[in-house]
Structure 1
Amino acid sequence: MAKRIAQSSVNWAALAERVPAEQKVNLAAFKIRSDTYLRRVLANPPEPPKINWSVYKNAVPVAGMVDNFQKQYEALKIPYPSDTQSSQVDAQWAEVKKAIEAFVSQSNTNIANLEKQIAEIKSLLPYDQMTMEDFRDAYPEEALDPLNKPTFWPHTADEQLDYVDPDKPAHSGH
C-alpha cells in the first residue's frame, strides 16, 4: 500500500525562481490543481471506515447476508495507480544532467582561457608607459609598420588606397 500524503513535498518558492516569466501562468495553474488535489486527499480518512458488523447481524433477519457483505467489504482493495512516469523523468533528468555537465565543462574551459588572457594583459606595460616599440612588440597586428606596410595619415583602414567600402555594392565592369 502506498504511503499517505500528509502535505505537499514541492517547494513552490524554489520552483517559481527557476520558471521563466512566460511560464509563470502555467505554474500558477499547476499549483492550484495540486493544492486542490491535496485538499481532496486530506478531506478523506486514510483508511476506510470501520463497520460494527454485530449491530447489523442482530438487526438483519436474513441469515448469511451480513456475513457475505462483511466478507466482500474486507476483501475490497482499492488499487493504487502504478508509477509509469518516473522512469521517463529519470531518463530525461540523466540527459539534462549530461547537458549541464557539458555546459559547466565548456564554461570552465572558457573561464580558464579568459583568465589566461587577463593574466597576459595584466603582465603588459600600461599604455601610458609604453613606447611605440613596446606597443609594436605587444600588438604586432595593430602597430604601424612604416617600412613594410606604409599607410596614409590618419592610418585608418578607410583612408588607404586599397580600401573597399563593405556597405556599397560592387561595381560591375561596364
Structure 2
Amino acid sequence: MSKRIAQSSVNWAALAERVPAEQKASLAAFKVKSDGYLRRVLANPAEAPKINWAVYKQTIPIPGMVDNFQKQYEALKIPYPADTMTAKVDAQWVEIKKAIDAFVQASNANIAKYQKQIEETNAILPYDQMTMEDFKDAHPDIAIDPINKPTFWPHNPEEQLDYVDPEKQAQASH
C-alpha cells in the first residue's frame, strides 16, 4: 500500500541553481503545477470517511439490502498499481552514475594536465624579455635554427627546398 505524501520531496532551490536562465520560466510553471497538485492531495482526508451502516439499516426498509451493500463495500479492494518503474530508474541511475564518475575522473585528469601546462607556461621567461636563443631553448620545435637547420625566408615549410606537398604525396601513395 502506498503512503500519503505530506510535502514535496523536491529541493526546488537546488534545482533552480542547475536550470539555465532561459528555462527558469518553465521551471516556475512546473513548480506551480506541482504545488497545486500537492495542495489538492492535502485538501482531501488521508482515509476515506467511515460509513455509518447503522443509520442506513434503520432508514432503509428492505431487509438485507444494507447488509449486502456493506459486505460488498468492505470486500471492495481497489488495487494500488505495482511500482515497476523504480527498479528501472535505479538501474538507469547506476549506469548514469558510472558515466558521471568516468567523466569526473577524465575531467580531473584534464584539469591536472592543463594545470601542469599553466605552470610550465608561467615558468617560461616572458616573450617580451626573450632573446632568440631563449625562444629556441623554450620552443625547439618551432624556433628557427640557422646553424643546424638553415631555412630560406619567409622561413615557413612551403618555401623550403625539401618541402613536399602533403596532398600530392597522399595522391602519389594511392
Match status 1:70 vs 2:70:
yes
Partner of 1:50: 50
| Change over 3 Å in CA distance of 1:162–1:28 after alignment to 2 | farther
Runs of 4+ in 1 over 4 A off after TM superposition: 11-40, 162-168
* Structure 2: gaps spanning 5 or more residues: none
CA distance in 2, matches of 1:99, 1:119: 30
1:12, distance to aligned residue in structure 2 (A): 5.2
Residues 101-146 of structure 1: per-residue CA shift (max 9 Å, x gap): 1011011111111111111222222223323222222211112111
1:96, distance to aligned residue in structure 2 (A): 0.7
| Change over 3 Å in CA distance of 1:32–1:146 after alignment to 2 | same
| Change over 3 Å in CA distance of 1:31–1:85 after alignment to 2 | farther
| Change over 3 Å in CA distance of 1:88–1:38 after alignment to 2 | same
Code of the aligned partner of 1:81: P
TM-score by structure 1 length? 0.74
Q: Relative contact order: is structure 1 or structure 2 higher (C-alpha 8 Å, sep ≥ 6)? A: 1
Identity %: 74
TM-score by structure 2 length? 0.74
Q: How does 1:5-84 map to 2 (within 5 A)?
A: 5-11=5-11, 14-15=14-15, 18=18, 38=38, 41-42=41-42, 44-84=44-84
Partner of 1:127: 127
* Structure 1: gaps spanning 5 or more residues: none
CA distance in 2, matches of 1:115, 1:42: 53
Match status 1:139 vs 2:147:
no
Partner of 2:3: 3
Code of the aligned partner of 1:125: L
1:11, distance to aligned residue in structure 2 (A): 4.2
